Amino acid sequence: MAEQYLLEMRGISKAFPGVQALSNVTLKVRPGTVHALMGENGAGKSTLMKCLFGIYKQDEGEIYLDGGKVEINNSNDALRSGVSMIHQELHPVPHRDVMENIWLGRLPVRSFGPLKFVDHKKMYRDTVELLADLELDVNPKARTGSLSVSKIQSLEIAKAVSFNSKVIVMDEPTSSLTGNEVEQLFKIINRLRSRGVSIIYISHKMEEILRISDDVTIMRDGKYIGTWQASELTTDLIITKMVGRDLTERYPERTNVPGGVVLKVDGLSSPSPKSFQNVSFDLREGEILGVGGLVGAQRTELIEALFGLRAISSGTISIAGKPVRIKSPSDAKKHRIALLTEERRATGIFPVLSVYENTIIANLGRFKWIPGLLDEKKGRVVAKEHVDKLRTKTPTVNTQIRYLSGGNQQKVLLARWLLTDPDILLLDEPTRGIDVGAKFEIYSIITQLAKQGKSIIMISSEMPELLGMSDRIMVMSEGRMTGIVEGNRATEHEIMRLAAQQRMA
């Protein structure tokens, strides 16, 4: 008997100017399963899902649901057909309550003659019933902006369920979740799966994929590579199929030998008692200093203070043995410090600007022609040099950066800061949301910079990354530095022990 599929995407192709994003791609999803969709950044995963959800219209190919062909020209068509999508970047309406966010665009109404009013009582009842069904403990009248990321993620799932969706696409649903929050998400996914709902699950986290998935489809360079049962796969097999080659080493060999102290931080404290307090450490020339800790450890707040983005109430920062005052990013740049932020889409890239413009924007003075005018020719030449140097995949330097994959966007941001010729690089989660192949390229760039004598502070929430890349690892817990461990002697157990230490009274 032929296999029954809830969803079939047959021969899907999609092109953008200068880029063939999808070429004859197939996706077949069985009912009541979690189907992982995997591939490197730029493999076409998001583009395929946007075709399914009606954000893009495929150039070629057909979509079938429950055996019948469907035309999906926009998101409303997708929702009516039983397809919902939860995007990686959550966009709730923060100043409205939970129930309004769930029923946005389809609020229940009551009529009084020609007048219509929102039926708040029905909306509340429906929301309570929906949340109880999913065993979500959320107040329907709570302001959405006051909720944690995991709660908002759960609300997006509840919203998808409220459409009676047969297929729910989840794009990197755990990228900002803690371990306990991931477990709660998996409980909800398992509940939906048991009801016959199919989940298309996009993630770069191999352990998650192998644990939660029934089937795995792998794409590469906009093409369909194959579909396997998750039980047949291992992490190494997935990586090999994704990148098209054996990746024997996850991390490049580090041969740099750190030199003298470049940066010294002594007793640094934030004006907020809930933020970093009394943090002291040093950074050596050519060193990669990893920074580990759990959510709420105040790691990001610390390095933003080093870059002049946050106030400091006490403590000192010294560079090359001399105390310095850093009150703004301009001060930081003068002292040859650069910051690669955690949220590249929110605080890194300028999405509607080109690769060229995103590359030079932190160093415009270098490209002045006459006052008020830029030497664009020189800027484009330099941008192209960095595209080649970092092996950034882009049609041209004039392509808008939003059309690049996450890993390639990150390379452009690295190029931006390398143009300022920094001595100290602050890297906040430099590989978040990036696939394993692109990660290795970013790691190689970081290692090469250290070899050139650049000093690097790298925050990472991925334990293997901390252990594989760091010369030393500084661990923080609730705003305090709880220990520094030599990289070659560090263990996951030791880092977790330090990260879990409670703040002393």
Tokens 């301009």 sit on residue: 330
Provide the token pair at 260.
């003298």
| pLDDT at residue number 3 | 67
Strands (E), 418-486: 424-428, 455-459, 472-477, 480-486
The predicted model gives 316-342 an average pLDDT of: 93
Q: Tens digit of pLDDT for each residue in 133-167?
A: 888 888 999 998 888 777 888 888 888 888 889 99
Q: Tens digit of pLDDT for each residue in 431-477?
A: 876 766 678 888 988 999 999 999 999 999 878 889 999 999 999 98
Structural domains in the chain, CATH included, are 1-82+165-247 (3.40.50.300), 91-163 (no CATH), 261-499 (3.40.50.300)
The predicted model gives 153-182 an average pLDDT of: 82
Helical segments of 56-168, H only: 75-81, 98-102, 120-133, 149-162
Confidence band of 291 (pLDDT split at 50, 70, 90) = very high
Nearest to 415 by CA among 348, 366, 360, 333: 360
pLDDT(63) > 50: yes
Given the DSSP bridges, would you call strands 167-171 and 83-86 parallel, antiparallel or unpaired? parallel
Confidence band of 410 (pLDDT split at 50, 70, 90) = confident
Provide the 10 A C-beta neighbour count for residue 226.
11
Start-to-end Cα distance in the chain: 67
The predicted model gives 312-329 an average pLDDT of: 94
Q: Tens digit of pLDDT for each residue in 202-251?
A: 987 788 888 999 999 999 888 999 999 999 998 888 878 887 755 556 78
With a CB cutoff of 8 Å and minimum separation 6, the contacts of 205 are 174
Provide the token pair at 197.
């709902």
Q: Of all helices (H) and strands (E), which one includes residue 10?
A: strand 7-16
Confidence band of 504 (pLDDT split at 50, 70, 90) = very low
Q: Tens digit of pLDDT for each residue in 70-92?
A: 999 999 999 999 999 987 666 78
CA–CA gap between residue 135 and residue 362 (Å, rounded): 48
pTM score, whole prediction: 0.63
Tokens 């030449």 sit on residue: 381
Which has the minimum average pLDDT: 274-288, 336-350, 354-368?
336-350
The predicted model gives 37-46 an average pLDDT of: 82
DSSP 297-347: S-HHHHHHHHTTSS--SEEEEEETTEEE---SHHHHHHTTEEEE-S-HHHH
The predicted model gives 304-317 an average pLDDT of: 95
What is the 3 state secondary structure string of 395-433?
A: CCCCCEHHHCCHHHHHHHHHHHHHCCCCCEEEEECCCCC
Dihedral pair phi/psi, residue 254, rounded to 5°: -100, 120
Dihedral pair phi/psi, residue 434, rounded to 5°: -115, 140
The predicted model gives 345-373 an average pLDDT of: 85
The predicted model gives 309-334 an average pLDDT of: 94
73-78 contacts at long range (C-beta below 8 A, 24 or more positions apart): 78/52, 78/53, 78/54
| pLDDT at residue number 502 | 57
Mean pLDDT of the chain: 87
Instruction: Read off the amino acid at residue 145.
Output: G
CA–CA gap between residue 174 and residue 185 (Å, rounded): 8
Confidence band of 175 (pLDDT split at 50, 70, 90) = low
In the chain, % of residues over pLDDT 70? 94
CA–CA gap between residue 477 and residue 474 (Å, rounded): 10
With a CB cutoff of 8 Å and minimum separation 6, the contacts of 94 are 143, 144, 145
| pLDDT at residue number 503 | 41
| pLDDT at residue number 490 | 87
CA–CA gap between residue 399 and residue 407 (Å, rounded): 15
In the chain, % of residues over pLDDT 90? 48
CA–CA gap between residue 152 and residue 123 (Å, rounded): 18
| pLDDT at residue number 426 | 95
pLDDT(24) > 80: yes
Cβ 363 vs Cβ 372: under 8 Å: no
With a CB cutoff of 8 Å and minimum separation 6, the contacts of 500 are 294, 477
Confidence band of 43 (pLDDT split at 50, 70, 90) = confident
Q: Tens digit of pLDDT for each residue in 466-485?
A: 999 999 999 998 899 999 99
The predicted model gives 167-195 an average pLDDT of: 82
| pLDDT at residue number 505 | 31
